[in-house]
Each structure stands twice: as structure tokens, then as C-alpha cells.
Structure 1
Amino acid sequence: MTILTKENLKEELRQRVRESYAVELEDASADELFFTLGSLVKAIYNDNWRETWKNYLKEEQKQSYYFSIEFLPGKMLKSNLLNLGLLDLVRDTLSDLDVDLDDLADVEKDMALGNGGLGRLASCFMDSIASSGLPGNGNGIRYDYGLFKQQFVDGHQVELPDEWLNNGNVWEIRRPSKAVNVHFAGDVYLKENENGQLKPVAENEIILRAVPYDTGMVGYQNGIVNTMRLWSVEIPASEEGKYKSIEERRVYEDLTAVLYPDDSNERGRMTRLIQEYFFVSAGVQSIVRYFQKLNKPWSALSEKVAIHINDTHPALCIPELMRILIDENDVTWEQAWDITVKVMSYTNHTILAEALEKWPVYLMKQIVPRMYQIIEEIDRRYVESMRGIHPEDLIQRTRIIQGDQVHMANLSIIGSHSTNGVAKLHSDLLKSVVLHDFYVIYPDRFNNKTNGIAQRRWSQLANEPLSNVLDESIGQTWRKDSSDLKLLMNYQNDEKVLEKLAQAKHQKKEELAEYIQETTGITVSPNAIFDVQIKRLHAYKRQLLNLMHILKLYFDLKDNPELDIHPRVFIFGAKAAPSYTYAKAIIKTINEVANMINNDASIQDKIKIVFLPNYNVSLAERIIPAADVSEQISLASKEASGTSNMKLMLNGAVTVATLDGANVEIRDAVGDENICIFGLTEEEVYAYYENHEYYSKQIYDENPVIRRVVDSFVDGTIPNIGYEGREIYDSLIRYNDEYFLLRDFDDYCRAQERIDTTYKDQALWRKISLVNIANAGRFSSDDTVRLYAEDIWQIEPIFAHTEKEGTSNVFNSF
């Protein structure tokens, strides 16, 4: 093992560029240098990756497997360099060669493996599991195109393929030797074998090959490298003859092409279900294969393996493990069920009833017939086991198969030993409202694990100017233990530190303003308030409420151009699901309001709107450090947690929020005076649901300000919208404003006035910003995964030998 220096790093880069591209280092393009550096970085951590796996085997460590249909890792070059302790060395070495590390990082494509919070949380967990020295792995799908690449054409969202794999993925290793077959469709029936056992027989089934691509998850300077395993579909050689045309092959080869196929049609629903079973079956098969290497009895499976179901998409883990145990290994149903429940755990990510996944019985019978048979038996036995213990109506409400629907959340709860929510309020609502029936039956299974974020990425990588100020003020221990951010509270009256924090913020605002100018042509001032709402476009997240306030502000300025408000730039980032026409109508309307306001000289640039297309991790890393205001304005009781709220808080933004999701815990952390709370509480929302006394038309009729804003969607005020404005108007008036925007509007406007007033008092604003940064440490995903490890997975850290020797600046043998 050789110490890595500038000299041998340059030499290694030079040699690899020659071997790979037949050019000299000085003549290599940014793309060639990126892939060369990436392969070198991977070579550096490969020894640790191999040793980590060998240690797990040697120690027979219990391992957790995090099944998620989404992962959203973001770019990995700088993250891996940071975690290896090589970021500064590599940056300085490249600088000697007149190469900017950031230029190489720009070459890297975001892995298009997720959409929003669900996928980003999974990736934060992968980072934190490795950084905490925990034996944990990810399991998902290697999408060819991911969700989609968003562009705006005439203000409309247009979905294009996100061809992130066109030039390959330097971080992954294809492992065909670990491939498994996954069986779909056909006719499945039970037949007695020579031992008198009933065993399934399948005829006319479809067999697909699941090939794993592994990516190393590098722990923060501790020598641990875990694995994120993503599955890609191929046609097995034995099945080649079944496909008579390229088109027939493509039907199956495209199964891992896109995330969330449009489920508004039958083909899309079928593809979605096949995707879910594909990565579940492949993952569970590979886990069982690993377990069998240990030569342990099946009763020990839960002592060595924990499988976590991240939302309901991987719920088929439960019947799939049952299938492997009873069909392939002759385990009795009773023992297999006991093992399965002990192995499985489930995170619920939604309060919205419509988001709790359900599948039609006919579709499951058609696509995954053996899964349906097993689910049917689980359901039958569940009902039988509960009779005489609980009332019949409670049993019927909680069973898995109800009418012609299979309820995947019910399967996830019944088939696992733990169900957790992701914020205290969310978990409380699961127990008291959404999953109350299950809480009555299984009170001990319910728990809370408030989400967290990988603060290394969202501070050390995304905001180096802020990180440098923290180092100078409180030392560097916060980089490993985010709870040490609390030390910053000692400086809330230190003018020098407050000024440095403000300068760091201004630097990031200047960078974002330059990016906005380059990408959109819109000129914004870094001296304005940067007011940010970045999240999936959904009605309950209430981007529309934000827009309504902007319109109100615009009308105020039109009435009084000299109105004393601090200039503000409203920044949006959001994708709408392709079939979600209402969300796409809101996007179109925001863009048209932006055109109207940004081109109106009479308001003297006091407000501007920027909707940045194709929101992803890399764009978030630009926006979040520059944000002054964090919009967390979902209707109370609808957002499970939120994590953009935590990222923005960490970077010193002041939160405007309802008491929803983790906003409640942020309020508790910073105090009422350092957050801007408005709107209905969760209790008030549910009171409206119970008494049916909400009438949006009455508010509209009685409030001239609201009436003017709402009418603007249909009276021609906003150019170039037609049905979009009518759809919005109807949602608010004709369909009684499902998410209570009109009820919260006045209070929201008052909250925004408080933001304006407070920002004008820069001494006060800077203190509030500092308090938010100082208290963000409690929302670290390092802490969250440790709680999962202790309370749910029962896994323990293992410390690599390289931790004792030190991992910074070591050059492992290639």
C-alpha cells in the first residue's frame, strides 16, 4: 500500500489516459479525464469493497437489504473523493495540470434512478449506512432512462428520455455470474409430488434474466464500502427461440427502461407490476443464495438477514420469500411465515389513501400467478387467525384481498414485524387515523423514524463556502458528527461569524444567479430574497398557494408601484408525473405568470419567477445553498416528512411552513421565533373532514383579494393559458378546494409579510439563519439509520481494518 501523492496520482492518470484513449494527459478531453479519474477512484476503493464483503462473510454479520424502487444518488465523483479523504488532494493535483475538478464533475450524469424524496432518502441512507460502518445494501432497478428529462416548450412540461447511460456508468460493475431467472405469467397449479407434497407446476410462463450491476457505497473515511445492487433485464439464452421478432424482444427488454411507467393505461400497469416483481424476486433470490453459503438452518435466516420494504413497491418481498422457502426448500408454511415476518420490515411514506398501492386481482393472477396464490393463502390464514380475537368488521377492513383489489400496504404490515412512519406527526397519524385498524391489532409493530439527510453532500459538497466558515468557527468535528453543529450557537452574537456566513450565502446566490442567466436568460439580483420551493409537483404540496401569493404581490405592485417590499426571486423546481394533467396545468400556469411578471417593467424587478427545468440532485445542489427562504407549505397532515426542509435549513434558509411532516420537529428544534409557521393544523384539517363545513365559494365571495387572484386564472389576466386556468379555477371553487388553499391564503400572506419585514433587519435575519444551521444536526441520516439498525434491523457496525490504519491518501494495489 503506497501513500498517494500528487506525483504518483499524476503518473497514474497519465498512464490510464494513454491506455484507455491513446492520448497524452494534456490532450485529453474533459469526458476522457472524467472517466479516467472515475476508474482510478473506483480502483482505489475496490480493495476496501472486497475487504468489507469478506469481513461480513467472515464475521457472519447480520446484513440489512434496503429494497427501494427508487434511488437518487446524484453525482458520485466528488462524493467518493470526499469520503475517501482525497477531495483536496485530487483538486490540487488537477489544478497543477490546469484542470478544474468541477469541470470534470460537470461531465458526470445524474443517475436517473429516482424521482424525488423517496429515492433521495434511499441514497442518503446508503451513504449513512456505509459511513456508520453498518452492514447494509441497496436493492433496486437499473433504469435505462429513469423518470424523464423535463423541458419546457411554450410553458408546457415536455418529457424526454433521460439518456444518462449513453456513455456508460464508470461506478458500476456488471456481474453476470450473479444473474438469476425471474418467472412471470403462465398457468400455475399445485400437483402432488412423489413425497406426497403439493408443489407448484408452471406452464407457458415467461422467464427473464435479471443481471445485477453493483455500485460501491463508500463510507466516510472509515474503509467501509457497501453495495447498491441494481437489476437489469435480459432475455435468457434458453428463451431466445420464443421471440420471433425484435419487437417481441423489446417488450421485455424495455421492462427496466423507465421509472414509473404511465399507469393510466393497461400496458403501463402491467409493466409496473412486472418491474416490482422483477427486482424483488431477483433481490430476494440473491439474498437467499448468500445465506445458504453460511450453512445455517432456515430458522437462523432472521438472525443473518433483514429485508426492508421502502414504501409498498417492494411488498412482494413477503410472498417471494415464502415461495422460496416453501416451494424450493420444503419449509413448512408455519415456519416459513414465522421466518418471513421476522425478516421483513416496512416504511410507510404516505398519508394519502390513494397513494397506498393496490393491484387488481385479475392483473396479479395474470402477471404473477404464484405470488397471488401465496397472498391468497396469507390472507385466508390472517382472517382465520384473527377470528375470535377481533371484531369481524375490523378483520375485513384489514385483510389483504378486498373485493377485486390486493392491498399492498396491508400485506406489508401483516407480513412484517415493524411498520414505521418518517416523522413524529406522520407516525402519530398512521396510528390514530390512516392505519388505526392495524395499530389496534399490532400496536407493538408501529414506531417512528424521522427522516434525515446525508449532511456531507448537502453541506461539505454542495456548500463549501459555508463549510469553510464552520471549520473556522467551530472546528471540523461537525464533519463527522453533525450534532457538533450546535457549537455554532455560541456565535449567534458574533458579528464576524455572522458576516462570514452572510458572505458565504451571497457567494452561492451569485453563482446561482449566473446559472439562471446562462440557462434561462432571466437576470436576477443576488441582493434579492431567493425564495425556493423545490419538490415533486403535487396538489397537496401546494405550489399553487405559492403562485397565488405571487399574483397577489404582483397586483399590489401594479396598484402601487412604490410599494416598499424587498425584491424577491421565486424559484421553483418540480416535475409532474406524465399523466398528472392537473399538476402539468400548474406548471404551465407558473411559467406563464413568470413570463408576465418578468417582462413587466412597471414593477421595477421587485419580483421575478424562475422555474428551472429538470429538477434533480445536481440542480438541488446549486439551489439549496443559495436559498434564503424555504417553502414547506403542504396542507397539514399530508406530507409524511419532507427532506428538502432539512437540506434548506442546514444551509441557513428560513422556513415558511405549515405544521406538517418534519416541519413540526424543525419548529421544535429552532423555536417559534426562528421559523415562520402559518395555516391550519392537522387537528383543524381533520375537523373540517368530520364536520363537512368547508365552503371555498363562501371565502371566494367574501374576500375580494382572493377573488381577484382566483379570477385571474380565467379572466384573461394571465396570457397564454386556457384550459389550464379553468382547471385550476374549478379545483378551487367548483370542487371545493380539496387542499384548503383559500382557507390558508390570508395567513400565508401574513407569513410572507413577516419574511419581508425580518429580511430588512439583516442583523436579525442573520441570527435566525445561524440558529437554523446550528440546529440542523439533529436531522442527519447517520442518526436515522443507527436507529433503524438498533430498533428494527438489529444489525451492528463492523469496523474495517483500514480505519485503524487510516484511509486518507492511501493508494491501494490495483
Structure 2
Amino acid sequence: MTDTPLISSPEHSVEGFVREFLRELNFTQGTVLERASTNDTYLALARTVRHYLMARWMETTTAHYRRQPKAVAYLSAEFLLGRQLDNALLAADLEEIAAEALASLGLDLDVLRQAEVEPGLGNGGLGRLAACFIDSLATMSVPAIGYGIRYEYGIFRQTFVDGRQFEEPDHWLDNGSPWEFAHPEHEVTVSFGGHTEKYTEGEGEDAVERSRWVPGWQVLGVPYNYMVPGYRNGRVNTLRLWSARATHAFDLKIFNYGDYAEAVRAQTFAENITKVLYPEDSTPQGKELRLQQQYFFVACSLRDFIDQLLPEGFDLHRLHERICFQLNDTHPVIAVPELMRILVDDHGFAWDEAWEVTRRCFAYTCHTLLPEALEVWPVELLGRLLPRHLEIIYRINDEFLDEVRETFGDDELLVRRMSIIAEHPFRAVRMAHLATVAATKVNGVAELHSQLLRDKVLADFANLWPDKFTNVTNGVTPRRFVRLANPGLSALVTEAIGDGWVTDLDRLRELEPFADDPEFRRRFREVKSANKQRLVELLERRDGITVPTDTMLDVMVKRLHEYKRQTLKILHVISLYDRIVSGELDVDQVVPRTIVFGAKAAPGYVMAKEIIALINHVGTVVNAHPVASRVLHVAFPANYDVTVAETLVPAADLSEQISLAGKEASGTGNMKFALNGALTIGTDDGANVEIRQLVGDDHFFLFGLTEPEAAAIAETGYRPSAYYEENPTLRRALDLVAKGEFSGGDRSVFEPVVSNLLGEDRFMVLADFQSYLDAQDRVEAYYRDPEAWSRSAVLNVARSGFFSSDRSMRDYLDRIWHAEPLGD
């Protein structure tokens, strides 16, 4: 590679910015300022800002190639990036220059911000975590690349019809995507289907029997690069997302015969792979498409790293010295047999050589405690779609089970439990087992979660390889979720302790003395009030939702799943409503409260959709009631995303983290709320445990069963109806739902929700109901004292620096990756 000179960044001045902006507007958008649309000016602005980062990006990429340091490849099916403009302005230190330059042209930066459409590349915490991690790696100057999928329509755009969720395509690419760079010249061919055949390589004593994959069909993977800028450090890493297209997209001969649909069939079939995030997999076709999707992106990514990012002639026996592939949950685990296939089939490695390399190149993060969330793939499907990979998995499993028998003896029950291949209820590949066998390290994402992985979920593996298991508690980037999302708080903190906290969040500890300063607390409350006003304006503009500004803001935003227990929260709302309407509570003595929900349910998750409908119907009744609405308001904005979170999180007073203990892996929303001065009401679950330990019991509202208590109740036989029968408050709340109070008198509408709670209640909502109400009573009493509440809120901010994704990255680097920041 020659030392090609790089073009320097544009002039870092208002005048220089104006010149770059007008050049983009005129020569890329093809318009003049007087006739430009808002989208024209936004695209010109985005491309202008990226110019300031591109020289640094080229320099970083060139340095990585020339110096060949050990790097991290973060393999994730999701990267929930959020809007890019503000983050790029912040990283490049262009906020003031851009605002002044645009103002000189009669344009408003705030207006152009609203024109950006958030990339639909993730679902929830998993994707947002991945985005935080790659931000931190760039800020810490660690050589890293993110690999994922460029979903054309993302997950879906959520709308409500009569309170029920409906899914629409998320057309996030329709108006242009100025932050991505397509590189079709680096496309990768990915194979599927077909069969394998044996052949002999060499002759005589040197003869070796090998396998050859004869694919049935192929698609192309086209890379799209995104810049991942570090915070004002001159480093810009890369996120590479893959889009599928056909090898032969258009058949002119068939077209000319008039069969237009058949002429583009191959293109349509191939592009389906990257149409949507997590295709609905309740059908065989959906399952097959999801497996195609997972293999497609890891096959592209491994080939890309080996073929494009390693120098010519690199000895792949030393691959582990150059890279650690981090498996973000089970979605990318098919990369393990794919690397074995590349080494053995394409590069002629002996099996043992390839396995030695492979097991040193992967690390696995498990993000769940729910057995149903640990992916399994039917052997029939995997063998039909990826026949060579199934052969490789079988051999890995055979050799692994030999090791198990050698270590533990002929305990066939243990062997069956640990086998990568499950036999019942159908033969399937357990992807979490495959990842655990192959990975150099396996980590959970909070102390409690990691302990439960070792003790319960993967206990047999932990007994075999105790040193393989470790913990890395999740974190969030302070750049996006404090510095950008909460400018008022950021300014207040910087005034108090300086600006070093943006890259060293532990420095927030210096705020502790200010919690006892009445003037600081007053200004903190002013910031919170201003943030609530911003939220009110956003909900009115975006959703047509009107909410009061002078109430406690009680927030529960997360993916809709029964274990997260949105049902517990809505039962609390129903109970408050019932007690107010019945006169049990004097409305003038109730602390006014606005409850905001935000959640999407997976398209095929029927019960989750029923819960969404119940929340919306309860909100309709509560908000319209002449008495209850004076102190109680429910809002559920549709299509909750990162952009909404950046306004909602800084405004929140109370953070709802109420999953059944032992079910939430970590959470990251809980961290964002605490960092922005919300107090948490929560169970001892996931990272709540560490939040409570750090902020202190006096500044956290703990309730509910512990994990051992919940496990004991489940083991002895949980009878939810007993709690219903013994608790009149709970009984009245459930009866209101059952009698049709929130469904126009129709008792059948929410019967499935009621029956589920009274019959199974797998996540013990009814068992924790009274404890939760008692904790909410403590919340209400405490909120009446604004000085005490704001003192606790300041201490939550001051003591939450541990939850920086920068700290998470340091832990990964020290405990798992053993890579180093790249110096100048």
C-alpha cells in the first residue's frame, strides 16, 4: 500500500463552513438556497459535517491497515444508532460554527435537525448497547469495526388503531441517507443450500479426505460504511452494514417475453434477506429467512475482514493476534462454523489447526436469562440451508462431548444437557451452547446476570470451564445520553466540575457535595422543569398528545415483554384510578402524576399486543374522567425510538425498572434515567442491583421478590389466584378490567390478559403487586418534599458514573479482548 496523501479537513471556521455547505447544496443537491427544500438543506448540512470527519476517518483506516494492531470486530444483528447529525457535530466540535454559519444564511439548525430520519437498524437495548459500545471504542482510540445488516425497512413503524398496535414499513431511507458510503466494488458472494461431497486431496500417504460445499444458490453482500467518530480525539472508526442483492438481478430475455415478475424474481428473493429486522418467524418461511439473514451478515463480515483488512499473505494461524470477533448474543454465532469452513475448506487447514485458531478468535456475550430467548435452529432447516456448517457443528459437538465424558465420566444425562444438539422436542442446534464451546470468554452483562449464567443457565459449562466465565456490566455513552440529550444538565455539571466528565464519567462523583447546596438543587430543578417542557412540546408536535407540565413524570419505556411487567405498572394505574373514583383517595391529597409508556411488541407476540391495547384503553378512560384526570394522566406515544428517548429520559422523575427478579439481564434504560437525575423504583434485578448499591438505598425505591424467593415460589407451585383472593385492592383492579370498564363494557376484550394473570402469571405480577403499591406510596410521600427529592436526584447523577460505556469497554479490553488503544 503506497503512502497516498490525504486531503485535509475543510477550514474550521464559520466562513469555511458556509463555503462547504453552499458547495454541497449547489453541486450535490443541484439547487440554490432560495429554492432549496428543508430536505435539500438537511442533506447538504449532513454532507458538509461529514467532510470534517472524513479526513480523520481516512487517516484512522490507513493507520489501522499499516500498523495492523489487534482489533475488535463487533458482530451484532442490531445497531440502534439514533440520529447522526448532532453526534457528528459534537465529535467534530462544530456545534457553534454550524449554528452560526446556517444563521448567516437565514437557516435554523434546530429546524434542520428535525428533518433527519433515525436509521431503523435496531429494536431496543441490544442495538442501542452496540451503538454505545462502538462510540466508546472510537472515543478511546481502540481499533474496532462494527459489522451488521443494513435493513431496508428496519423493524417496523408502530402505529395505533383503536389502541392496538399495527405495523407499517419504516421508510427510513426514502429521503436519502447522507451518512453512509456504498462500496459495491467490495461485494461478497454468500452461498446457501445445495449439498456437500467428499473428495481426496493428495496421493498415497499424504492423501487427506476433505469436504466440498456445492451451493444451490448465491447472493451478493454489498457493504455500506458509516463513520463512527470518537469524541474530539481525531479518531473515526467504521461501522460496516451489509445489504443483499441478487447475483443476476434482471433477466432481459424473460422480460422481453413479457414475464416481468419472473424477470426480477431473483432480485426480489435475494433482497428479502435484508428487508426487515427480525422477520416474523412464527412460520417456517420466517424461520428460514431469519437464519438466512444471520448467516448472510456473518459470512460477509468474516470474508471482509480476512480479504480486505488483513495484509496480503497474512498467516491465518495468527488470526487471533489480529482480531477478536465479539458475538453480541446468539444471532451471529453461525460465524463459528463459518470460520472453520473458511480455514479448513478454503485455506486447507487441518481440523485441529482450524479449531485452535477459531476458539481463540471468538468471545460471546449472553444477553438473556430466558430459555426461549436462547436461539435454537432445527437440524432439518440448518442442514438444508447450510449443509456444510451442519457437518462442522456435528464434529465440534462430537469432540466436545468426548471432552465432557473424559472429565465427568459416563453421565449421559449431563452429556445430553450439554450437547450442542438438542434431541427433544425436535433435533436442533443450541446456538448458545455452540457459542460457549467455541468462545475464549463468555460474559453476562450485570453482576447478578453473570452469576445466574454461571449458576443456572450455563451451569454445566461453568463447572467444566470456570475461568471461561466473566462479567462486564453494560454501560451507555455519556456523549449522546447526557451531553447531547440533556444540554441543561450538561451545562450545570460542567460549570460545577469542568468538562472532563464527558470522557471520564467517574468524575461525576465530584458533584456529591453539590447535592447539599440549596442553590444547586434549585437550578437542577429548573433544568428538570425545562426538560419537561421540551417533552410536552415534542409529544404535542409529534403525536398530538397533550400532557401536563407540572406533575411527577413517571416513565416506563422498554420493549414490550411479559417479564418486563408493563402489566404491573398498568395495574398500579388502574388501582389509583379506582381509589380516586371510589373516593377512597381524596383527589386533592394525591400527587399529580403523568405516566408515559413507550414500547413495541414483536409482530407475532399476541399477549404483548393485548397488553399494549389494555394500556391505551386504560389511558383513554383515565384521561377523560373528570375527577381522576385532575391528578392522573397516561400517555403512550407510538413508535418510541432513540430520538424520543433523548427528550423523554432527561425529563423523567421516576424510572420504572420492575421486571421479575432473575429475568432481566441488565437493562440500559435504567442507567440512562439515573444519569439524568431520575430516581428508580425497581426490583433487585439486572443492573438495578448495581445502581442501588452505588446510589444508596435511601435514593432507590426497592420492592418485590428477590431472585431466590421467586425461584422458591415457582418450585413449590405458584398460585396467582391466591393473591387475587386475598388482596381487595388487586381484586378490584382486575375486576374492572374483567367487567369491561376499559373496553366499553365488553368483557371479552381483555379476557386473555385477565385469564393469563389469574391462571399462569409466569412472571409473578400478582405476587409483587402489593409490594409495588407500597413502594409507590413511598415514592409519593418522598416527592412531596422537593428538596429531598432533588437531593436524591443529584446523588443519582453523581454516583452513576460507573455506567459509562467507556468503563464497559475498558472491562472488555482487560478481561476479554486484550487489545490496546492506537497511539499517535
In structure 2, how many angstroms separate the alpha carbons of the residues matched to 1:587 and 1:19?
A: 48
1:253 to 265, 271, 277: 271
In the alignment, residue 710 of structure 2 is paired with which amino acid? V
1:135 Cα shift? 0.6
Q: How does 1:627-642 map to 2 (within 5 A)?
A: 627-642=652-667
Number of the residue aligned with 1:17:
25
- Are 1:401 and 2:421 an aligned pair? yes
Number of the residue aligned with 1:108:
116
Number of the residue aligned with 1:746:
770
Number of the residue aligned with 1:533:
556
Q: CA distance change for structure 1 residues 722 and 167 in 2, over 3 Å: closer, same or farther? A: farther
Number of the residue aligned with 2:509:
486
In structure 1, how many angstroms separate the alpha carbons of the residues matched to 2:16 and 2:228?
A: 25
In structure 2, how many angstroms separate the alpha carbons of the residues matched to 1:744 and 1:689?
A: 13
In structure 2, how many angstroms separate the alpha carbons of the residues matched to 1:530 and 1:273?
A: 41
- Are 1:651 and 2:676 an aligned pair? yes
In structure 2, how many angstroms separate the alpha carbons of the residues matched to 1:566 and 1:351?
A: 37
TM-score w.r.t. the length of structure 2 is 0.95
Number of the residue aligned with 1:465:
488
Number of the residue aligned with 1:767:
791
Q: CA distance change for structure 1 residues 12 and 519 in 2, over 3 Å: closer, same or farther? A: closer
Number of the residue aligned with 1:228:
239
In structure 2, how many angstroms separate the alpha carbons of the residues matched to 1:665 and 1:204?
A: 49
Q: Is the Cα contact below 8 Å between 1:360 and 1:406 reproduced in 2?
A: yes
**Which stretch of the first structure deviates more once superposed, 526-535 or 24-33?**
24-33
1:96 Cα shift? 3.1
Number of the residue aligned with 1:680:
705
- Are 1:179 and 2:187 an aligned pair? yes
In structure 2, how many angstroms separate the alpha carbons of the residues matched to 1:56 and 1:683?
A: 48
Number of the residue aligned with 1:806:
none
In the alignment, residue 332 of structure 2 is paired with which amino acid? P
In structure 2, how many angstroms separate the alpha carbons of the residues matched to 1:491 and 1:525?
A: 29
Q: Is the Cα contact below 8 Å between 1:589 and 1:724 reproduced in 2?
A: no
1:8 Cα shift? 1.6
Q: Is the Cα contact below 8 Å between 1:596 and 1:719 reproduced in 2?
A: no
Number of the residue aligned with 1:421:
444
Q: How does 1:290-439 map to 2 (within 5 A)?
A: 290=308, 292-293=310-311, 295-391=313-409, 392=411, 393-403=413-423, 404-439=427-462
TM-score w.r.t. the length of structure 1 is 0.96
In structure 1, how many angstroms separate the alpha carbons of the residues matched to 2:218 and 2:796?
A: 53
In the alignment, residue 430 of structure 2 is paired with which amino acid? H
Q: Is the Cα contact below 8 Å between 1:224 and 1:799 reproduced in 2?
A: no
Number of the residue aligned with 2:229:
218
Number of the residue aligned with 1:121:
129
How large is the RMSD of aligned CA atoms in angstroms?
A: 1.6
Q: Give 3-state SS (helix, strand or coil) of 2:89's partner.
A: helix
- Are 1:569 and 2:594 an aligned pair? yes
Structure 1 segments unaligned to the other structure (5+ residues): 801-814
1:755 to 773, 779, 783: 779
Q: Give 3-state SS (helix, strand or coil) of 2:369's partner.
A: coil
- Are 1:783 and 2:789 an aligned pair? no
Q: Is the Cα contact below 8 Å between 1:60 and 1:294 reproduced in 2?
A: no
1:696 Cα shift? 1.0
Q: Give 3-state SS (helix, strand or coil) of 2:273's partner.
A: helix
In the alignment, residue 82 of structure 1 is paired with which amino acid? L
1:476 Cα shift? 1.2
1:724 Cα shift? 4.5
Deviation digits for residues 651-678 of structure 1, max 9, x if unmatched? Answer: 1001000000000000011100001000
In the alignment, residue 44 of structure 2 is paired with which amino acid? T
Number of the residue aligned with 2:280:
262
Identity over aligned pairs, percent: 39
Number of the residue aligned with 1:168:
176
**Which stretch of the first structure deviates more once superposed, 352-361 or 50-59?**
50-59
In structure 2, how many angstroms separate the alpha carbons of the residues matched to 1:578 and 1:155?
A: 15
In structure 2, how many angstroms separate the alpha carbons of the residues matched to 1:481 and 1:652?
A: 18
In the alignment, residue 770 of structure 1 is paired with which amino acid? V
**Which stretch of the first structure deviates more once superposed, 293-302 or 307-316?**
293-302
Number of the residue aligned with 1:271:
289
- Are 1:72 and 2:92 an aligned pair? no
Q: Is the Cα contact below 8 Å between 1:66 and 1:309 reproduced in 2?
A: yes
1:34 Cα shift? 1.1
Number of the residue aligned with 2:258:
none
Number of the residue aligned with 2:5:
none
1:523 Cα shift? 2.8
Number of the residue aligned with 1:556:
579
In the alignment, residue 743 of structure 1 is paired with which amino acid? A
Structure 2 segments unaligned to the other structure (5+ residues): 1-7, 255-260
Q: Is the Cα contact below 8 Å between 1:110 and 1:618 reproduced in 2?
A: yes
1:689 Cα shift? 2.5
In structure 1, how many angstroms separate the alpha carbons of the residues matched to 2:249 and 2:669?
A: 47
Q: How does 1:82-161 map to 2 (within 5 A)?
A: 82-161=90-169
2:619 to 594, 603, 628: 594
Number of the residue aligned with 2:724:
700
1:399 Cα shift? 1.2
Q: Is the Cα contact below 8 Å between 1:325 and 1:331 reproduced in 2?
A: yes
Q: Is the Cα contact below 8 Å between 1:13 and 1:25 reproduced in 2?
A: no
Q: Is the Cα contact below 8 Å between 1:291 and 1:304 reproduced in 2?
A: no
1:604 Cα shift? 4.6
1:23 Cα shift? 3.2
1:379 Cα shift? 0.8
Number of the residue aligned with 1:30:
38
In structure 2, how many angstroms separate the alpha carbons of the residues matched to 1:87 and 1:775?
A: 29
Q: Give 3-state SS (helix, strand or coil) of 2:80's partner.
A: coil
In structure 2, how many angstroms separate the alpha carbons of the residues matched to 1:607 and 1:496?
A: 30
In structure 1, how many angstroms separate the alpha carbons of the residues matched to 2:723 and 2:327?
A: 43
Equivalent pairs, count: 798
Q: CA distance change for structure 1 residues 724 and 56 in 2, over 3 Å: closer, same or farther? A: farther
In structure 2, how many angstroms separate the alpha carbons of the residues matched to 1:790 and 1:291?
A: 24
In structure 2, how many angstroms separate the alpha carbons of the residues matched to 1:734 and 1:787?
A: 43
Q: Give 3-state SS (helix, strand or coil) of 1:751's partner.
A: helix
**Which stretch of the first structure deviates more once superposed, 722-731 or 358-367?**
722-731
In structure 1, how many angstroms separate the alpha carbons of the residues matched to 2:108 and 2:733?
A: 48
Q: CA distance change for structure 1 residues 88 and 350 in 2, over 3 Å: closer, same or farther? A: same
Q: Give 3-state SS (helix, strand or coil) of 2:578's partner.
A: helix
In structure 2, how many angstroms separate the alpha carbons of the residues matched to 1:325 and 1:496?
A: 65
Q: Give 3-state SS (helix, strand or coil) of 1:56's partner.
A: helix
In structure 1, how many angstroms separate the alpha carbons of the residues matched to 2:498 and 2:396?
A: 55
Deviation digits for residues 421-467 of structure 1, max 9, x if unmatched? Answer: 00000000001111101100111100000000011100111111111
In structure 2, how many angstroms separate the alpha carbons of the residues matched to 1:22 and 1:359?
A: 50
1:25 Cα shift? 2.8
1:57 to 52, 65, 75: 65
In structure 2, how many angstroms separate the alpha carbons of the residues matched to 1:730 and 1:238?
A: 51
Q: Is the Cα contact below 8 Å between 1:656 and 1:677 reproduced in 2?
A: yes
In the alignment, residue 23 of structure 2 is paired with which amino acid? Q
- Are 1:441 and 2:459 an aligned pair? no
In the alignment, residue 607 of structure 2 is paired with which amino acid? Y
- Are 1:547 and 2:565 an aligned pair? no
Number of the residue aligned with 1:811:
none
In structure 2, how many angstroms separate the alpha carbons of the residues matched to 1:616 and 1:604?
A: 27
Q: Give 3-state SS (helix, strand or coil) of 1:232's partner.
A: strand
In the alignment, residue 339 of structure 1 is paired with which amino acid? V
1:204 Cα shift? 5.6
Q: CA distance change for structure 1 residues 606 and 85 in 2, over 3 Å: closer, same or farther? A: same
In the alignment, residue 178 of structure 2 is paired with which amino acid? V
Q: Give 3-state SS (helix, strand or coil) of 1:557's partner.
A: helix
Q: CA distance change for structure 1 residues 568 and 218 in 2, over 3 Å: closer, same or farther? A: same
1:26 Cα shift? 4.5
Q: Is the Cα contact below 8 Å between 1:67 and 1:310 reproduced in 2?
A: yes
1:511 to 519, 525, 534: 534
Q: Give 3-state SS (helix, strand or coil) of 1:733's partner.
A: helix
1:679 Cα shift? 0.3
Q: Is the Cα contact below 8 Å between 1:188 and 1:203 reproduced in 2?
A: yes
